[in-house]
């Protein structure tokens, strides 16, 4: 199948930067009799609220003010001549959309207030937290096609050790009679959650399995939709000053470290819409550390991902949301490492509102031959580190998962090479620390020092090679 038409409507890029969609520019340039009617006698008449219409109206207003285009005194242009029947444009035909079955379930996994918090060098709240700002949840999305079942679980936790994650995936698979290779367990990476101790993980496992079973029992026919766009919610916390990397943990308090925007600002929404009903499941990804709460905070919180999901579920009727972390290895949100809970809500609402906007602009994912739910996984070994990676094909779109804190520059390369929409899920199926790009090793900095032992320049690129190879596997 030729993917060019489908993929060109998503990430229009120019040397890694975002560019306007040529189709949108074409709409703005088209003449319209609406232009002569929008500005008349110094006032704006009532016009349609459709985005394309509003674009034409705005262009018409500017044209009238600047002296080109229809003027207020000009007579309205004549109606365009009717086209002969044989010249009438043929409406474009979309390829068949992906049809699956989908279910959603969730459970509260908020720990007891006495549990210390994880996410910064020093454990916080050794004598107990200061309460709960936002509850921690386990969210489960189950997908089915024929006899194949796949599960995506999102946990509001900082990290999950590899061995513990493998055990949990096995338990999840057995609970609904599927293969552990078809299970993804992703952590949001909130820095205001508990240590994943054995006792805590044992206490929440029944709750996670309950969410998965309910999602499996509630599966209904859906179509799959997707959209992705740049969201400037984060910045690159690594600032090069006089040839040395200095860390900008909070741009409000470290004014002499002007950071640059995030290398990969992509926000992706993978949406499953009920065929004969209002329900929808919104799985979304964004690469920015959930560190709006800083190390001085002792509040339990799911941070901005939890705030965003709460906002989305409240503002999309019959919608349920699930967050997975994108390439956040070197990215912070613009409000970071502070103590005001209102800023967590602000960043969350900003992200939620953007995802809701994407929900109005999603496109159906074309169905493809060979199955529209194909799950591939393997364990790769790099410098002695076992890494469980996975790629799902959801029609013509990808879900790409890796248990690392990935640098944004590597994600840009991944998207460029795959050439199709990608829902990137890092911190998924375990945790293997920071994976910087080649140039970061020469620069140094916190992430390079905190990377897994023995990691060398080029290992991040080697991991991307493995993901691309898994995604492009022809034996579907």
Q: What is the pLDDT of residues 260-287, one digit of tens each?
A: 999 999 999 999 999 999 999 999 999 9
Long-range residue pairs from 52-58, CB within 8 A, at least 24 positions apart, any chain: 52/27, 55/24, 55/27, 55/28, 56/27, 56/28, 56/30, 56/32
pLDDT score of 33: 35
pLDDT score of 36: 36
Please say if the pLDDT value at position 8 is more than 60.
Answer: no
Please say if the pLDDT value at position 327 is more than 90.
Answer: yes
Give the separation between CA 245 and CA 253, rounded to whole angstroms.
18
Up-side HSE of residue 131: CA atoms within 13 Å toward CB?
2
Task: Give this prediction's pTM.
Answer: 0.81
Q: Which residue has the higher pLDDT, 369 or 232?
A: 232
Please say if the pLDDT value at position 13 is more than 70.
Answer: no
Diameter over CA atoms, the chain? 80
pLDDT score of 126: 59
pLDDT score of 96: 73
Q: What is the arithmetic mean of pLDDT over 442-454?
A: 91
């Amino acid at each position: 199948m030729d993917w060019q038409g489908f993929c060109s409507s998503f990430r229009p890029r120019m040397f890694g930067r975002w560019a306007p969609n040529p189709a949108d520019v074409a709409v703005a340039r088209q003449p319209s009799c609406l232009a002569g009617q929008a500005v008349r006698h110094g006032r704006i008449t009532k016009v349609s609220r459709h985005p394309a219409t509003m674009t034409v109206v705005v262009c018409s207003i500017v044209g009238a003010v600047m002296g080109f285009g229809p003027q207020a005194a000009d007579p309205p242009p004549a109606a365009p001549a009717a086209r002969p029947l044989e010249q009438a444009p043929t409406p474009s035909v979309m390829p068949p959309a992906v049809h699956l079955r989908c279910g959603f379930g969730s459970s509260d996994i908020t720990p007891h207030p006495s549990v210390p918090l994880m996410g910064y060098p020093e454990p916080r709240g050794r004598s107990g937290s200061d309460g709960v700002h936002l509850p921690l949840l386990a969210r489960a999305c189950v997908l089915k096609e024929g006899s194949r079942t796949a599960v995506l679980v999102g946990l509001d936790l900082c990290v999950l050790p590899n061995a513990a994650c493998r055990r949990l995936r096995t338990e999840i698979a057995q609970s609904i009679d599927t293969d552990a290779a078809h299970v993804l367990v992703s952590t949001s990476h909130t820095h205001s959650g508990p240590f994943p101790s054995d006792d805590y993980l044992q206490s929440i496992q029944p709750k996670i399995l309950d969410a998965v079973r309910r999602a499996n029992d509630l599966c209904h026919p859906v179509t799959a939709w997707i959209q992705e766009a740049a969201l400037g919610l984060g910045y690159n916390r690594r600032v090069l000053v006089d040839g040395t990397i200095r860390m900008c943990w909070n741009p409000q308090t470290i004014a002499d470290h002007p950071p640059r925007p995030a290398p990969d600002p992509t926000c992706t929404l993978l949406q499953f819409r009920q065929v004969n009903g209002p329900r929808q499941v919104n799985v979304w990804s964004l690469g920015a550390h959930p560190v709006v709460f800083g190390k001085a905070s002792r509040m339990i919180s799911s941070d901005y991902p939890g705030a965003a999901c709460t906002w989305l579920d409240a503002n999309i009727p019959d919608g349920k949301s699930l967050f997975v972390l994108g390439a956040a290895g070197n990215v912070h949100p613009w409000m970071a490492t502070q103590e005001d809970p209102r800023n967590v809500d602000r960043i969350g609402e900003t992200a939620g509102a953007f995802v809701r906007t994407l929900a109005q602009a999603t496109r159906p994912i074309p169905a493809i031959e060979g199955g529209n739910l194909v799950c591939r996984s393997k364990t790769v070994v790099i410098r002695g580190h076992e890494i469980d990676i996975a790629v799902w094909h959801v029609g013509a779109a990808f879900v790409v998962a890796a248990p690392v804190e990935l640098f944004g520059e590597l994600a840009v390369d991944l998207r460029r090479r795959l050439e199709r929409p990608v829902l990137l899920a890092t911190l998924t199926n375990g945790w293997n620390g920071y994976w910087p790009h080649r140039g970061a090793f020469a620069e140094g900095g916190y992430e390079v020092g905190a990377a897994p032992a023995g990691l060398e320049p080029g290992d991040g690129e080697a991991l991307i090679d493995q993901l691309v190879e898994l995604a492009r596997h022809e034996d579907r």
